[in-house]
A = this chain, B = another copy of it.
């Protein structure tokens, strides 16, 4: 095409009146056209939105891609050079993952972090090894004619197809609106299994070319897993803090503020790619780290821009990925083997189901809300594979003889999961009546009560000397308020956060009036932003109530503990409790350290009385703060 248009229409031998130079603008021109095409597709789906209720957008996009691919194939046009694995990994994937990280619902995620990592790490390992070995067993049957595929290659292939894909899964699960626990576990799993996949892929692709596997390689593989995962996290946190620190100084160049968010998170991703560690982990932790501080530093307009641009880029990148998936499915050369591909589909489905069954049995005793059978079904059936597997299949080294078969099998798994599971998941979940989202209940009142419970828990943990989630959160909040905020936030003295919240709601209100007035706005969009703002409110409230708690602890000190060494006292007490629990014999003896002179009550009695005092204190204070909230925010 480019050659045909790259001509220069000369007007005889004179000055040209009309010239045309297509190759010069080809790259940006075609990218622009693809993006526009994807945007039109998105508009089209929402104009005829009855389709998207039952068929996920991803399926529609792949279908369109298949049609376009068929047309291109029939006119012998080259496929667009856009979905090479480099373009995918360097330009398209980071945009989607940045959005996932930036808009990650922080509280549910940290509440389920154990389960998330359990499924992401152990689940992915389980799938890879299970599928790989099963397929190797199938290869031994001569009837299928795939006896030349050895164990290493099978494992490499199974590593590619065992990772659940963030793009496909999020696309389906956002429509279905299952309950929060289920959503966040699937969401987290598909984001964080990247580290495992990267390691397994590198390990097996290295091993696939090796004649023998030494035991030291297994050890190195394990070491590498920690380097990949923790290294990605470390880079993310580092760049996140640097980004937050940089936005301290942008108050006079408001116009380029959003740039820093994009550049630093992208840099985190690229550096992680450079060192072949988990780039998805890096960009997620970077987004999580910087979000809180950056949004306090930048102006309201920059904040809106950052959120909108992240959403926009992710949305268009996702659309393009599915679209190209369809196109490339047609234009690639395939090697079809019924036996191998059908068994791949079967094993992928069975091992996922088995894995969920076994792993939930193990994790359930540790969970506050255990997964029931229906949740397990959701977890197993929601394990869609997608573009990440696809791109990884294309990066397979050419030394692997059956590369084309692996590519075909990967595409088959993707299409099978995205189409069959993606379309049927909504009716099935409605049929078996999986607990649905409870997000509609989220009001500020609910938030305040959750807060109350969390602070009560923190108080109880303080008193019992347990080191659990609340303890660490408490520790981090203190560190954050004393050190991090001072370093990273420009105006760290901060006005009363209740007033800030009020202002935010005012603005929200004004914007909504304006938007509603200026046309029929999509309710979903409002809801999305409302959910985001609720999360903000939650953060603000938490900060504020934390402060109140701290202040009153200091105040109470005048009665019971005359100076501000309360925290030190609690720490000492906590150590004492631990020591007591380590020496079960002496648990009732009063071995309170003598270094602390203010601790006058007998140790045996103190726990109950102190707990009682704490309960009185917290509820009283909460009543007060609720009252102040009611006067400030009359509409709660």
Contact = CB atoms under 8 A, between A and B. Distances in A.
Contacts of A29: 267, 270-271, 274
Given A47-B252, A253-B46, A503-B517, A227 B18 contact: yes
A270 B36 CA distance: 14
B500 A506 contact: no
A43 to B, nearest CB: 5
Contacts of A487: none
A315 B257 CA distance: 11
Contacts of A304: 301, 304-305, 308
A309 interface: yes
B518 A510 contact: no
Contacts of A301: 304, 308, 511, 515, 529
A478 interface: no
Given A42-B253, A511-B301, A15 B221 contact: yes
A525 B254 contact: yes
A333 interface: no
A466 interface: no
Interface string A244-266: 00100111111111111001101
A15 B263 contact: no
A274 B2 CA distance: 12
A519 B490 contact: yes
Given A14-B216, A32-B270, A224-B17, A253 B43 contact: yes
A16 B206 contact: yes
A296 interface: yes
Residue of A20, A202, A264, A519 ringed by the most chain B CB atoms within 10 A: A519
A518 B274 contact: no
B276 A21 contact: yes
Contacts of A529: 301
The count of identical subunits is 2
A24 B21 CA distance: 29
Contacts of A499: 517
* Highest count of chain B CB atoms <10 Å: which of A21, A315, A316, A514: A514
B252 A522 contact: yes
B309 A15 contact: no
A620 to B, nearest CB: 30
A517 B498 CA distance: 13
A533 interface: no
A504 interface: yes
A444 interface: no
A276 B312 contact: no
Contacts of A256: 39, 42, 312, 315-316
A293 to B, nearest CB: 13
Contact of A14 (B217, B308, B525): B217
A521 interface: yes
A566 to B, nearest CB: 32
A223 interface: yes
Interface in A290-340: 296-297, 299-302, 304-305, 308-309, 311-312, 315-316
Contacts of A495: 517
Interface in A1-17: 11, 14-17
A223 B504 CA distance: 58
B300 A36 contact: no
Contacts of A506: 510, 513-514
A540 interface: no
Interface in A272-295: 273-276
A259 B312 contact: yes
B316 A15 contact: no
A270 B24 CA distance: 10
B276 A19 contact: yes
A207 B90 contact: no
B519 A251 contact: yes
B504 A275 contact: no
Interface in A48-95: 49, 86, 90-91
Given A42-B253, A255-B312, A315-B256, A504 B500 contact: no
A35 interface: yes
A533 to B, nearest CB: 12
A154 to B, nearest CB: 18
A545 interface: no
B520 A259 contact: no
Given A254-B522, A270-B25, A515 B39 contact: no
A386 B43 CA distance: 41
A266 B90 contact: no
A220 interface: yes
A15 to B, nearest CB: 5
- Max chain B Cβ within 10 angstroms of own Cβ: one of A14, A257, A260, A308: A308
14 contacts: A11-B220, A15-B202, A15-B217, A16-B206, A21-B276, A28-B270, A29-B271, A46-B252, A255-B308, A257-B312, A301-B529, A305-B312, A503-B510, A507-B514
Interface of A: 11, 14-22, 24-25, 28-29, 32-33, 35-36, 39, 42-43, 46-47, 49, 86, 90-91, 202-203, 206-207, 214, 216-217, 220-221, 223-224, 227, 246, 249-260, 263-264, 266-267, 270-271, 273-276, 296-297, 299-302, 304-305, 308-309, 311-312, 315-316, 490-491, 495, 499-500, 503-504, 506-507, 510-511, 513-515, 517-522, 524-525, 529
Interchain residue pairs A-B with the least CB separation, the first 5: A46-B252, A305-B308, A255-B311, A19-B276, A510-B510
